[in-house]
Chains A and B, each alone.
Chain A
């Protein structure tokens, strides 16, 4: 790209500005195409190498499987369904648990985070306990939840909630604490009550903090649901992984991973879309 840019002033002295803008746009398009091509090439190379190494028995195909087998596995699941029922049902089950856990965790995190951020007395009392709870590796709670709530969705929702709650809580708390004091003073001068200050100043200014945590936390919700299913369930992608592992079907484990990645990416895309709608008031330069 840089050689073209360097050469343009010399070559284009006779050209009109419109021409120059045109050629610059073309260069930008070309660059984009090159980047995309390189990306695809990289993917093909990695998958091709994997396939090749597995087929030539350089790596053990039984343990490591190969892309073509993974693809076959996904195709079989899609067309003939899994051992647990149709693939869509498994995805929906996991997604349902993750979404429910995410919503509950986010709601609890935001409400408690804002409340503690606004009410210092409450923060002083609960602060140390929250720190202690946060220091527990919460994934170990998943087996306990299976014991408490059984094999149904409740135990997975619970493990998703505990994973989601803390990052959201800490961000909402921080967001409520870092509200511009000028804005609060201004709102009070303009006549806002404490409740109005919380609802119309603190919460809107904390939203950018909260949204940062929403991206991370949806991933956590999926982890919570999957781990819960892996430990004990009747349906879901996590169970699919566990079963594939139990039958030494490496391709099945990988296939489930691919499906999960797609689900997570779609969810992330929806979240970004929502964020753009909500943050119309922000200067567009900041989200680069």
Chain B
């Protein structure tokens, strides 16, 4: 069966054009070709506002491409599928649900019986270290704890594909490093393919098997770099290794140019 051998995610010439409120057309991504293998951790970096997040919404099925094709496990994406998990940049925990009920939401939405959903949710809460917090409401937690709830709520659905849209950008530096390590630990047990969007090059190298550099918007793939750092990695220590710095320099040469273009455009807009 082709579904077994086909890559986890495939974008073939995918473009997405939005209509702006003023009536104009805005192309967020154009002719995007990208293939992500099973179990691969891919980080996508690019200048701010270039259309990285749009790529994720196309894969998730929340949006349809204007042109081209998006395939997940060899099948064209039609609406939100059950293989996909998504961790958002902003808080997306339900504020009126307790921590436990938040993590149970996914399985319950998918028709898992209550007792089993609760058991699975408790298991994942324990894994992210929030077992003692299951009766709290999100507003009673710190930003890092809320992110853990979001991770547990995503992983509890057993996603084959994990999409992450700058998930840790709102956290402080120490918490972010800690969460990155935890993410790697959680992911290593699942065999899921990950697409991790970020504007932080360091974070992307520390986490990923491959780093995809996007061009200034409308985004398309500029370059794909393989990261040959050995796993398991610890985010804090890996970035001090000479090889890390070498890779960083190499990718920054490519990314820096796009960042400069974006910045000049921004300056032109202001002027």
Contact = CB atoms under 8 A, between A and B. Distances in A.
A192 B110 CA distance: 7
Interface in A184-213: 185-193, 196, 200-201, 204-205, 207
Interface of B: 60, 62, 80, 82, 84-86, 88, 90-92, 94-98, 105-106, 109-110, 137-139, 153, 157
17 contacts: A182-B90, A185-B88, A185-B92, A188-B62, A189-B62, A189-B80, A189-B84, A190-B105, A190-B153, A191-B80, A191-B106, A191-B157, A192-B109, A201-B94, A281-B95, A281-B97, A281-B137
Contacts, number: 59
Given A185-B88, A281-B137, A190 B95 contact: no
Interface residues of A, number: 22
A247 to B, nearest CB: 53
A3 interface: no
A200 B105 CA distance: 10
Interface string A161-194: 0000000000000000000101101111111110
A280 interface: yes
A187 B97 contact: no
A186, A193, A282, A283 interface centre (most CB from chain B within 10 Å): A186
Contacts of A205: 96
Contact of B96 (A188, A196, A204): A204
A190 B88 contact: no
Interface of A: 180, 182-183, 185-193, 196, 200-201, 204-205, 207, 280-283
Nearest to A278: B96
A280 B96 CA distance: 8
B86, B92, B98 interface centre (most CB from chain A within 10 Å): B92
B94 A204 contact: yes
A188 B96 CA distance: 17
A185 B62 contact: yes
Contacts of A191: 80, 82, 106, 109-110, 157
B87 to A, nearest CB: 9
Nearest to A190: B106
A196 B109 CA distance: 8
Contacts of B96: 204-205, 207, 281
